[in-house]
């Protein structure tokens, strides 16, 4: 039994132990500028990226590193990339002119982190243009090598102002760009061989070769189904439920009724005739609109049935004196609450039917001071840019120049 519990505990702790950390990513310096933990990039793409990094280094205008991982295992991508940036110290010491292009393939997320020396407003805007214009469209087509190489070249040109032609493009004769690894249960149907002749059958990607045909066809159906905003779907559901509730109440209220004594049909009286069967308090409730009464009368034995329907939304409340829903409460602020002292309010209640009236004061709690910002702002939508800062410390002797970043830049999902 003890060994079984130990095995279960080990299984439960396995994801936490296997979670990726910045210390698990090998530093590419001094041999190169690129790290691909997924093995997705072709060797010629890595060589082109390293050549581009050498060109940036030779220009003395900064440093450019590229890192490709599978997933950050739930950690915010901007925070992870910024910690990695500062861990390595990308950029020249004193200039802080480093740029890190970070890609998490399984998470379908890319981030570009800038050093403090290139954190101008124009540079941050250029980062988002690079992500949205150069990288994400290619990622959506499954062109992983082309997306990362285009992003790195555009970053060198538009952010560090270095001619990207120093890094040669990988030859297309080696095959089309690899298709993005597909998460479990999701079929990526963007073929790499879009320009293949129609007479030939394109080769299946590794993900497709191990996917049953039925699952691939289900992926086609899912791809052609238009996406619906969850907020719109929620609002439509609430409106539908409200409409059904209103319709049910109207049907229950206006349905035919039978006299419980003589079993003959009953007739509902109009608003003027039913006042003869209502008390003064009930008439006051109808006049204020807090309650509506239906009076049914039997055509045979004159039996009367009075039904009460309270308004769903009304500022009138039940009076503590007469019990009718004719009392209104007003709240007046005598002293506003502050961060140091609570507030004071006066509550007045007055009935429009009887002479009941009361007034009392009550205190309100102090205002809460806003919590200190952690420096990280999460973005739930794809293609969203954000600026965040990191408190992690860089390490000396990492092979980079020792640059620092506060987390500015941009990113997006695809």
| Model pLDDT for residues 304-323, shown as the tens digit of each residue | 888 998 888 888 999 988 99
At 221 the pLDDT is 42
pTM, whole model, 2 decimals?
0.44
Matching residue, tokens 């001094």: 30
* Residue of 304, 302, 301 lying closest to 293 (CA atoms): 304
Residue 371, both tokens: 């919590």
Say yes or no to pLDDT of 188 above 60. no
Tell me the per-residue pLDDT of 31-78, one tens digit each, with 9 for 90 and over. Answer: 899 999 999 999 999 999 999 999 999 988 899 999 999 999 888 999
Query: Cβ neighbours of residue 270 under 8 Å, at least 6 residues apart?
Result: none
Q: How far, rounded to the nearest angstrom, does the alpha carbon of residue 75 sit from its chain's CA centroid?
A: 15
Question: Residue 326 — very low, low, confident or very high, per pLDDT cuts 50/70/90?
Answer: very high
The answer to whether 96 and 404 have CB atoms below 8 angstroms apart is yes
Of the listed ranges 63-77, 123-137, 186-200, 329-343, the one predicted with least confidence = 186-200
Tell me the per-residue pLDDT of 262-310, one tens digit each, with 9 for 90 and over. Answer: 888 888 888 888 888 888 899 888 888 899 899 888 988 888 888 998 8
**Given this structure, which CATH class describes domain 2-180?**
alpha beta
DSSP string for 283-338: HHHHHHTSEEEEEEEETTT--EEEEEEE-SS-SEE--TTT-SS-EEEEEEEEE---
Residue 153, both tokens: 């070249």
Say yes or no to pLDDT of 198 above 60. no
Q: In what order do the strands lie in the sheet with 98-104?
A: 34-36, 63-69, 98-104, 109-114, 409-413
Alpha-carbon distance of 291 to 92, in angstroms, equals 76
Say yes or no to pLDDT of 141 above 80. yes
- Paired strand residues for 291: 310
Residue 304, both tokens: 């009367």
Say yes or no to pLDDT of 410 above 90. no
The answer to whether 94 and 400 have CB atoms below 8 angstroms apart is no
């Amino acid at each position: 039994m003890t060994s079984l519990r130990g095995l279960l505990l080990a299984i439960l702790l396995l994801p936490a132990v296997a979670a990726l950390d910045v210390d698990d990513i090998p530093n590419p310096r001094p041999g190169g500028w690129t790290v691909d933990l997924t093995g997705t990039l072709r060797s010629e793409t890595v060589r082109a990226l390293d050549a581009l990094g050498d060109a940036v280094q030779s220009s003395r205008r900064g440093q450019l590193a590229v890192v490709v991982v599978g997933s950050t295992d739930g950690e915010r991508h901007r925070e992870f990339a910024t910690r990695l940036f500062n861990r390595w110290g990308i950029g020249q010491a004193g200039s802080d002119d480093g740029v890190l292009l970070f890609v998490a393939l399984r998470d379908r997320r890319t981030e570009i982190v800038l050093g403090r020396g290139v954190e101008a407003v124009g540079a941050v805007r250029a980062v988002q243009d690079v992500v949205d214009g150069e990288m994400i469209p290619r990622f959506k087509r499954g062109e992983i090598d082309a997306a990362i190489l285009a992003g790195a070249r555009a970053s060198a040109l538009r952010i560090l102002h270095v001619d990207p032609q120093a890094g040669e493009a990988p030859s297309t004769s080696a095959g089309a760009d690899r298709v993005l690894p597909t998460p479990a249960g999701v079929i990526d149907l963007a073929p790499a061989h879009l320009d293949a002749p129609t007479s030939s059958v394109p080769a299946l990607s590794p993900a497709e070769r191990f996917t049953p045909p039925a699952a691939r066809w289900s992926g086609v159906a899912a791809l052609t189904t238009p996406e619906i905003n969850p907020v719109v779907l929620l609002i439509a559901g609430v409106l539908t439920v409200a409409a059904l509730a209103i319709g049910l109440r109207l049907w229950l209220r206006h349905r035919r009724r039978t006299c419980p004594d003589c079993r003959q049909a009953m007739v509902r009286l109009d608003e003027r005739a039913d006042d003869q069967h209502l008390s003064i308090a009930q008439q006051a409730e109808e006049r204020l609109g807090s309650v509506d009464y239906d009076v049914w009368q039997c055509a045979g034995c004159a039996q009367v049935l009075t039904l009460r329907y309270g308004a769903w939304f009304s500022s009138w409340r039940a009076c503590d004196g007469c019990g009718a829903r004719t009392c209104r409460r007003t709240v007046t602020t005598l002293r506003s609450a502050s961060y140091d002292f609570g507030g004071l309010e006066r509550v007045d209640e007055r009935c429009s039917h009887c002479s009941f009236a009361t007034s009392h004061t009550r205190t309100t709690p102090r205002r809460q001071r806003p919590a200190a910002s952690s420096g990280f702002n999460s973005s739930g939508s794809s293609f969203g840019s954000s600026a965040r800062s990191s408190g992690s410390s860089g390490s000396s002797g990492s092979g980079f120049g020792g640059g620092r970043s506060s987390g500015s830049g941009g990113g997006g999902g695809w």
